[in-house]
Chain A
């Protein structure tokens, strides 16, 4: 078991790896965390996730643009892939599985991937249908996987209307399923009108929201463990 000081150092390095979008460093310190018996949950949240929160701030301040944000996300995944198999199931009060995808006709999926990352970090089982997904596929996949949550994304007004149909079909088949929609043309009015349970509006906000949501997960984890 590593000393408290050493543990903090490893967390700081994991954070730095994400902020500096350094995949090799992220892998290296994720492995060090395992080798030195550091709790992988903590390494994810106090290292990788705390780095992504910093990235969110840099993105807000326009120090980082979309390419940097995506490279940081890849650095986070590089470490997460090593740590995740060793994570004991977290009890955050939320868990389960989620179906996610960009609706038919739409090939924009940067926002969707960042949102997916949030679910990956939180320990959800993620069924990623990718982009340009036929509308029926969402309903089919939800039924098959019995997922609690379905996330739909559209970047163009022309493809957005497809979401309304998916929501209607999903609610008909399974009234309990929670549906989140996101993408540039989505507003709270549209979310209400379509019958969605949650929404994220323009792409930048969707990215920020996703990062904020990782932050709130971290808080929930701390609370669950009685740290906060």
Chain B
């Protein structure tokens, strides 16, 4: 059923789907849910994206349920939902843990989930389940290398330039206060809701004619095709 579920979700419009073994990441009331289905779409976070992801995860959940398995849906914008009973469990799990554990990418220096193919612009959602899905190979360390584009260009200088590794989950990558202050400032001045520079500047998955042509060399020297 594993490949079946993956193909099903991809056909319904998911960009990437991965299965993660998450036994160690879970505790208490959800410890019995040993697998995470991580679903990503190549769209920025807005209402349409949220409803697409919600639809995808409902379909995944319905399928798991009809096969007799338990599940817990963690919605894409879980931090904004607090008026339901089930929302109390959302904070026990993060979408990024599911995505890295199922090998869909790593956490970049900018603190965002980066997919080798699609870059940092994916939006993720997660379904936890006790179905015995065969887990994908996790990504355990950063593949940002020596690239410091996001670090150098962050207008708030909020990015510390540290490479993420699963073995050091508590090491801070981004100064969130600075990042937030910057976003609040941009909103006031330009009436744009977000900054997003660290997404757009990332060489991975950049939507340009050069997409897919980034060699390690480019990364090492952080010399990027469109930035001289």
- List the interface of chain A (C-beta within 8 A of B): 65-68, 70-71, 73-74, 77, 109-110, 113-114, 117
| Most B C-beta atoms less than 10 A away, residue of A110, A114, A117 | A110
Are A67 and B86 within 8 A (Cβ)?
Answer: yes
Question: A70, B32: Cβ atoms under 8 Å?
Answer: no
> How many whole Å from A168's CB to the nearest CB in chain B?
29
Tell me the total A-B contact number using a CB cutoff of 8 A.
37
Q: Nearest chain-B residue to A23 (Cβ)?
A: B84
Q: Flag if A71 contacts B70 (CB, 8 Å).
A: no
Most buried by B among A71, A109, A113, A114: A71
Which of A67, A77, A114 is B89 in contact with, Cβ under 8 Å? Answer: A67
Whole-angstrom CA separation of A110 from B32 in the bound complex:
18
Known: A65-B29, A65-B32. A70 touches B70 (CB 8 A): no
**For chain B, what secondary structure do more than half of its interface residues adopt (helix, strand, loop), or is it mixed?**
mixed
Residue of A with least CB distance to B62 = A22
Roughly how many angstroms separate A110 CA and B84 CA in the complex, as a whole number?
Answer: 11
Give chain B nearest CB distance to A56 CB in angstroms: 15
Q: B153 CB to closest chain A CB, in angstroms?
A: 37
How many residues on chain B are close to A (CB under 8 Å)?
11
Is B112 positioned at the interface, with any CB of A under 8 Å from its CB?
Answer: no
- Separation in Å of the A159 CB from the closest CB of chain B? 17
| In the complex, B85 has a CB within 8 A of chain A | yes
Question: Is the C-beta of B30 less than 8 angstroms from some C-beta in chain A?
Answer: yes
Closest to A110 in B: B88
Whether B85 and A66, one on each chain, are in contact in the complex, defined by CB atoms closer than 8 angstroms, is: no
A65 and B70 alpha carbons, distance in the complex (Å)? 9
Complexed CA–CA distance, A217 and B70 (Å): 30
The smallest beta-carbon distance between B15 and chain A, in angstroms, is 26
B156 within 8 A of A: no
**Contact between chains at A67 and B88 (CB < 8 Å):** no
Nearest opposing residue in chain A for B33, CB measure: A67
Instruction: Show the binding face of B for A, using Cβ within 8 Å.
Output: 29-30, 32-33, 70, 72, 84-86, 88-89
Closest chain-B Cβ to A59's Cβ sits at a distance in Å of: 12
Bound Cα distance from A135 to B29, whole angstroms:
28
The contact sample of 26 A-B pairs, CB cut-off 8 A, is A65-B29, A65-B32, A65-B70, A66-B29, A66-B30, A66-B89, A67-B30, A67-B33, A67-B70, A67-B86, A68-B70, A70-B86, A70-B88, A70-B89, A71-B86, A73-B85, A74-B85, A74-B86, A77-B84, A109-B88, A110-B29, A110-B89, A113-B85, A113-B88, A114-B85, A117-B85
The 6 A-B residue pairs with the shortest CB-CB distance in the complex, in nearest-first order? A66-B29, A73-B85, A70-B86, A70-B85, A67-B72, A74-B84
- Complex alpha-carbon distance, A29 and B89, angstroms: 27
> Which residues of A lie under 8 Å from residue B70 when comparing CB positions?
65, 67-68
Residues of chain B lying within 8 A (CB to CB) of residue A70 = 84-86, 88-89
- How far, in angstroms, from A65 to B33 measured CA to CA in the complex? 11
> Which of B30, B32, B85 has the largest count of A CB atoms less than 10 A from its CB?
B85
A68 to B33 CA separation, bound complex (whole angstroms): 12
Most chain-A CB neighbours within 10 Å: which of B30, B72, B88, B89? Answer: B88
Q: A70-B88, A74-B84 are in contact. List 13 more A-B contacts (CB 8 A).
A: A65-B70, A66-B30, A67-B29, A67-B33, A67-B70, A70-B84, A70-B85, A70-B86, A71-B85, A73-B85, A73-B86, A77-B85, A114-B85
Give A24's nearest chain B residue, CB to CB. B58
Task: Tell me, rounded to whole Å, the shortest Cβ–Cβ distance linking B54 to chain A.
Answer: 12
Give CA–CA (A73, B86) in the complex, Å. 8
A134 to B23, CA, bound (A): 36
